[in-house]
Amino acid sequence: MESLPDAIVQYILSHLNNARDAAVCNCVSKRWKESLPCLKSLYFPRNSFDGYTGSDSPDIVIWKMLSSITCLEELVVYSPFTSSGLASWLLLVHSSLKHLELRMDNITDYKACVDSPSKLDCVSAAKNLESLKLWGVLMANPPKWDVFKNLKSLEIVGARLEDSALSAALRACPKLTNLVLLGCEGVRSVSVELPYLEQCKLDFYGLGNCSLSLTCPKIELLEVQGCSWLRVRETTCLRKLLIANNSGRVYMVDFGKLSALESLSMRGVQWCWDAISKMLEWSSEVKHLYMKVEFTGDLESLLPFPEVDFVEFFNSHPKLQKFDIHGAMFAALCQKNSLKNVEQGFVIPCLEEVVVQVRSPLNAEQKMSTLESLLKYGKNLKTMVIRILQMKSNHSSSDDFFDEICRLRFMNRKIVRIE
């Protein structure tokens, strides 16, 4: 290192980001110390101040490090801090800072949330941010944010949110292209209106009874967990869609024509059949379909799926290449009359991969007939995976059914495998 020109040393050291490493390098030599102002990124892990015995508070230590850096672009702080400390840091670096990630640790501290200014309020000082990620947030009141004109990515992980506070925060970020809300509780009804949004992942924790309205004409990827009512009308760009509700029921979905949709995933314990049938109707161009919904039924009663006509289903989804069938949907395709409309010349033109989950030997004959039909009419089928999961019967019929599946695998060993 001693033989290298100053510019090369500065370039190498500018790629440091761990605060402890930067502090150690600061003590190596005067030359190295003079290179540290060139740092672009600084990261303070959770344990940054474990064993620290200095007289200055952690807030002051971080402030001193930041004050020696000329053009910091990224700041990540997982170690504990105060709102006054955060305000002082951002006052130093607000003009150059583009990426900010903070572990707030105030999800259960209502007093810290209502203090003025709160940690959330202080973030508004970094007006040139391009990405913001917050962990452990209590957002009981609307944050006092001005408009972030350059903010493209907002991620909040582990949060307790009020509807009005979340809406206010989103209004302050009109240029978002990426929105991620994971493990968020307290949300009852949310409306997202972001004209540039392309990717959105929403995970609402709780009873699974939230309602969501999304107006984002450029949306390409949407993943939603925990909503019972969904309305997404502008979907011309939507390519990947995942809807899941592991705690509640999916009662209503309202989408525009999903003409660009390539991947659809529907998951949950219970969906109303109207919601399922509409999603299947709208997604006629889909290439990958994943269905793991156990029951239908409009109210408290858990009902099996109604019969689904095998030929009509695949004729309605001519571009389907990969089909993951779990639980009730496979049973619906295996009803007595599901294969009655097979006509001469019928083929499944694009299907290449099928994953089937089998949990019961009931209707074994019809299930075998459906598996054989997938092999017979799927002219381009390359892989069929049959997953035997927690077979629920100890009766000999389970053994007979498994023997039939093994026979099917033996006869089609290049395509079929059992897991």
Query: CA Rg, the chain, in Å?
Result: 28
Q: Where are the beta strands (DSSP E) in 234-307?
A: 240-250, 252-255, 263-271, 288-295
**pLDDT(316) > 60:** yes
| 93 CB-contact burial (10 Å; exposed 0-12 / middle 13-18 / buried 19+) | buried
**Average pLDDT value for residue range 393-415:** 86
Residue-range definition of the domain harbouring residue 379:
304-418
Helices 83-93, 58-67: crossing angle, 10 deg rounding: 0
Q: Side-chain half-sphere of 184: how many Cα atoms within 13 Å? A: 30
- Does residue 159 sit within a domain? no
User: According to the model, what pLDDT value does residue 28 have?
Assistant: 60
User: According to the model, what pLDDT value does residue 361 have?
Assistant: 81
CATH of residue 406's domain is: 3.40.50
Distance of CA 164 to the CA centre of its chain: 23
**Average pLDDT value for residue range 114-138:** 90
User: According to the model, what pLDDT value does residue 362 have?
Assistant: 82
Instruction: Verify cis geometry, omega within 30 degrees of 0, for the bond prior to 174.
Output: no
End-to-end CA distance of the chain: 55
- Does residue 48 sit within a domain? no
**pLDDT(365) > 70:** yes
Angle at 400 between CA 398 and CA 405, to 5 degrees: 95
Helices 58-67, 19-26: crossing angle, 10 deg rounding: 70
User: According to the model, what pLDDT value does residue 297 have?
Assistant: 86
Whether the CB-CB separation of 292 and 266 falls below 8 Å is answered with yes
Instruction: Write out pLDDT tens, residues 131-164.
Output: 999 999 999 889 999 999 999 999 999 999 999 9
Other CB atoms within 10 A of residue 129 CB: 23
- Does residue 252 sit within a domain? no
- Dist. CA 160–CA 367, nearest whole Å: 45
**pLDDT(74) > 70:** yes
Query: Could you give the number of structural domains in the chain?
Result: 1
- Does residue 33 sit within a domain? no
Question: What's the whole-number average pLDDT of the chain?
Answer: 89
Instruction: Write out pLDDT tens, residues 19-46.
Output: 777 776 666 656 555 667 778 899 999 9
Instruction: Write out pLDDT tens, residues 218-250.
Output: 999 999 999 999 999 889 999 999 999 998 899
Instruction: Kindly report the pTM of this predicted structure.
Output: 0.90
Two structure tokens written together for 237? 């760009």
- Dist. CA 230–CA 251, nearest whole Å: 9
- Dist. CA 128–CA 98, nearest whole Å: 6
Angle at 228 between CA 226 and CA 232, to 5 degrees: 95
User: According to the model, what pLDDT value does residue 2 have?
Assistant: 61
**Average pLDDT value for residue range 167-179:** 97
Instruction: Write out pLDDT tens, residues 184-202.
Output: 999 999 999 999 999 999 9
- Does residue 233 sit within a domain? no
- Does residue 22 sit within a domain? no
Instruction: Write out pLDDT tens, residues 199-214.
Output: 999 999 888 889 999 9
- Does residue 358 sit within a domain? yes
- Does residue 339 sit within a domain? yes
User: According to the model, what pLDDT value does residue 110 have?
Assistant: 55
Largest CA-CA distance found in the chain, in angstroms, rounded: 85
